[in-house]
Amino acid sequence: MSESKRPRTGGFTRRTFALGALGAVGLVTVGAGAKVLPARSLLRPPGGQDEVALLGTCLHCEKCREVCPQGAIGPVHVEDGLLNMRTPTLDFHGGWCDFCTDVDGGPRCAAVCPTGALALPAGAVLGSTATGETGTVILGVARVNRDWCLAQRGMKCRSCVDACAFKAVTLGYDNVPVVDEALCNGCGSCENVCESMSSGSIAPGATDRAIVVVPLDEVEA
Ligand code: SF4
Ligand code: SF4
Ligand code: SF4
């Protein structure tokens, strides 16, 4: 199924929230200019794809972050808006999300959340998107920046290809990785292993890894 046709959980609500935020642009600043609304879209742990519900119910208790065995959840900082501050976001620098498929109860982060701010909808499908099932949880989509990629620079790197358990990353015609967005669920394993920011391999001007997961509404915009 093509990227445009594949159903994605959370995309509509996130976009709706973004439009709401634009409509309320007059409220963006208060006091000394502190941001109230999100400065950008954010990656959320499984069950946090309804942005309105998450912001309305998250207690900022950080229980989800503490329980994540992969270290894949970080707190949002004030730069991304006061409303978002200390809500959970996925941070693939230290780990990646395996959807807690090792436990019967599913994602530990959602299970420990006391308010349901992280709550998977009934019938949610975790893991592979290959079947195109309605309700598959998509956290984001991986994007490659060729200019920063070691493979593009002739260094024969393929770490992201080998890391993706969902076969969403392959080497293209010129041995630079390409992402099949229809197979990517945004787990972040590729970003986690990307070596482009390692000592001695950083491309001039690079500010992030060469493969990063971006929120769905950045893809759909
Ligand atoms: S599903 Fe599991 S691995 Fe993924 S963010 Fe939640 S606790 Fe971490
Ligand atoms: S491309 Fe990256 S984010 Fe997407 S499924 Fe593969 S490893 Fe996960
Ligand atoms: S791991 Fe990073 S540097 Fe290596 S091929 Fe993948 S995107 Fe390029």
Q: 36 alpha carbon to ligand 2 midpoint, in Å? A: 32
Shared-domain flag, residues 51 and 102: yes
Domain harbouring 170, CATH code = 3.30.70
Q: 140 alpha carbon to ligand 2 midpoint, in Å? A: 9
Q: Is residue 3 part of a domain?
A: no
Domains identified in the chain, total number? 2
Shared-domain flag, residues 92 and 150: no
113 lines ligand 1 (CB under 6 A): no
Q: Is residue 136 part of a domain?
A: no
Q: Is residue 130 part of a domain?
A: no
Q: How confident is the model at residue 105 (pLDDT cuts 50, 70, 90)?
A: confident
Among 92, 112, 132, the domain-final residue is 112
Dist. CA 44–CA 48, nearest whole Å? 5
Ligand nearest the Cα atom of residue 159: 3
Q: Is residue 18 part of a domain?
A: yes
Q: Is residue 2 part of a domain?
A: no
For residue range 32-82, what is the model confidence (pLDDT) as tens digits?
A: 445 666 667 899 999 999 999 999 999 999 999 999 999 999 999 998 888
Dist. CA 163–CA 144, nearest whole Å? 14
Shared-domain flag, residues 213 and 150: yes
* Residue 164 φ/ψ region, left for φ over 0, alpha for ψ in the -120 to 50 degree band, beta for the rest: beta
Q: 159 alpha carbon to ligand 3 midpoint, in Å? A: 6
- Model pTM greater than 0.75? yes
Ligand nearest the Cα atom of residue 140: 2
Domain limits for position 96: 11-112
Of 166, 115, 114, 96, the residue nearest 136 (C-alpha): 166
Among 67, 97, 112, the domain-final residue is 112
Q: 108 alpha carbon to ligand 1 midpoint, in Å? A: 6
What is the percent of the chain where pLDDT is above 90? 65
Q: Which residues line ligand 2 (CB under 6 A)?
A: 142, 163-164, 166, 168-169, 179, 184-190, 213
Q: Is residue 132 part of a domain?
A: no
Shared-domain flag, residues 17 and 95: yes
Q: Is residue 120 part of a domain?
A: no
Shared-domain flag, residues 95 and 25: yes
74 lines ligand 1 (CB under 6 A): no
Q: How confident is the model at residue 220 (pLDDT cuts 50, 70, 90)?
A: low
Shared-domain flag, residues 56 and 104: yes
